[in-house]
Chains A and B, each alone.
Chain A
Amino acid sequence: MTVLSLSLLELNEQVKESVKLAFSKAVWVRAEISELHENAAGHAYWELIEKEENTDRIIAKTKGNCWAFTYRMLKSYFENSTGEQLKTGLKVLISCTVEYHELYGISLNIKDIDPSFTLGDMARRRMEIIRRLQDDGVFDMNKEVPLSVTPQRIAIISSATAAGYGDFMDQLANNSGGYAFYTKLFPAVMQGEQTVNSIIQALDKIYTHQDKFDAVVIIRGGGATAELSSFDNYDLAFNCTQFPLPIITGIGHQRDESILDLVAHTRAKTPTAVAEFLINNMEEAAEKLAEVQHYILSLVEGRMQEENHRLQKILIQFPHLVSTQTRRKKETINLLQHKLSNNLRHLLTTKKNSLALMEKEVILSSPDVLLKKGYSLTLKNGKMVKSISQLKQGDNITTRLIDGEVKSIVK
C-alpha cells in the first residue's frame, strides 16, 4: 500500500517556506553566546544557547552567523559601548532573521545587537558578585590592612610589556622629591582568558615573601581593547580581600571600576595615578618631618627665651634688693644710733642731776656754810672736837671761825 510521502528535500523546502512566512522580518532574540569563531574572511560563526535559570541546564540551542561586513561594524559598536569584547559567556540581545536551509538546517543571521542588554546583564552579574563578597564578610578586609606611612617596598603585578609598567617605573625612579623606592616585578598576563589565574599565581608568590614588601600594586594601561571582565572575577576579588598586604590597583579602563578596584585597599585610575599616590605619601611624610623639626626648634627657642627672661628678672632686681637690704640696715643702724644717743643723753642728764644734787648736798654740808652762820669748829691737836669729853682743863684748842682761827686754853 502506498502512503502519501514527501522526499526529504520536499519536506525541507516546505519547512523553509513556512519559516519564511512566519519570520518574514528580523526578530530581537535574547541568548547566551556559547561559541564564537571568526574565520579568515572575517565571517563570524556563533552558537547561541539558553540556560534554565536556576539549574544552568541548556534548554535551547541554535547556530548563528554574521557576515564579515556586518560583523565588523557590530563588533566595534559593541566593544565601544560596553568596553568588552564579544565572547563566550556573554548574554546578548541580537536582531536576526531566521533562516532555514535544506542542507544546513536552521540558523540565525545576525544583523544587529543591543549592547545595553549586555551591559545590564554584566551589571547584574557584577552586583551579584559584590553581594556575594559582602555576604562572605570579606568585602572590606583588604581595606582594613594598615598601609605603612612610607610605603617604599613595592611588589608589582603587571606585564613587562604592558603599557603603563614602563611609565610607572620611570615615575618612581625619577620622582622630583628624590624619594627611594624598592620594586620587584611579578609578571602576569593582564589581558584575556589567562588573566585571573596569572594574577592569582603572582599573588601567591608575593605571599611567601610578604615581609619584604609594604604594598602590592596591580597595574595595566588602558586602551580601546582593554577589557575589564577578568577584573570582575569572583575568585580574583576574593583572593585580594584575603591578602595580608594592602593592594593598590591602577587598571586603566574606560568604564568605571572593576570589582577588583572595589575590594582593593586603594584604587587609582591608572598606573600613573598609582605612582603619584606612592610619591605623595612620601612627600607627606617628609613634610611632617619638617613640621616636627620646626616645631621642636620653636618650642626649644621659646623655652630658652623663658629661662633667659627669668634670669634677667632676677638680675634686674638684684641691685634693688641689695640696696633695699642696705637701706634697711642703714635705717636700723640709724635707729640704734638715735636710741643710743637718747639713752646717753638721758643718762647724762640723770647723772648731771644726781651730781647737782650731790653738789648741793656737799655744799650744804660744807662747814663754811655753817661757819658763815656763826658756828665754829673746835680742834685739838688738829683733830676736831665733837664732845666735851675730849677736853680737859689746860688743853690747847684751836677755834676755827669763818675768817680765821683763835687759840685758847680750856679753863
Chain B
Amino acid sequence: MAKKTYTESITEIEEILGQIENEELDVDILTEKVQRAAELIKLCKEKLQKTDTEVQKILDEIEG
C-alpha cells in the first residue's frame, strides 16, 4: 500500500470527522471509523516526531 502523505492522512481524518458529526453512522460502523481515525492520527504523530532515516539518507546522497 502506498505510504500516505501527511496531508492525505489529515484529509481522510477530516472526512471521518465529518461523517461522525453528521450522525448518520450506525454504531458498529462508528467503531470502525474511529479505529481508522486513531490509526491515521498515530501515523501523523509519528511523521512529526519520529525520524525517518531513509529520508535523511536520500538527502545525504545528494552531492553538495
Contacts and interface: CB of A to CB of B under 8 A. Distances in A.
B49 A149 contact: no
A288 B17 CA distance: 13
Contacts of A177: 49
Interface stretch (A292-300, A326-334, A362-370): A292-300
A209 interface: yes
Interface string A294-319: 01100110011001000000000000
A224 interface: no
Contacts of B6: 148-150, 285
Interface in B13-64: 13-14, 16-17, 20-21, 23, 27, 30, 34, 37-38, 41, 44-45, 47-52, 55-56, 58-60, 62-64
Contacts, number: 76
Contact of B58 (A212, A293, A299, A303): A212
Contact of B21 (A183, A185, A209, A299): A299
Given A153-B55, A293-B41, A184 B17 contact: no
Given A148-B7, A184-B60, A187-B64, A292 B48 contact: no
Chain B interface category by residue count: 20 to 34
B50 A296 contact: no
Interface string A172-183: 000001111011
Contacts of B45: 286, 289
A161 to B, nearest CB: 14
A303 B30 contact: yes
A292 B13 contact: yes
A165 interface: no
A304 B31 CA distance: 10
Contact of B48 (A180, A187, A209): A180
Interface of A: 148-150, 152-153, 177-180, 182-187, 205, 209, 212-213, 282, 285-286, 288-289, 292-293, 295-296, 299-300, 303-304, 307
7 contacts: A153-B55, A178-B49, A289-B41, A289-B44, A300-B34, A303-B23, A303-B27
Interface of B: 6-7, 10, 13-14, 16-17, 20-21, 23, 27, 30, 34, 37-38, 41, 44-45, 47-52, 55-56, 58-60, 62-64
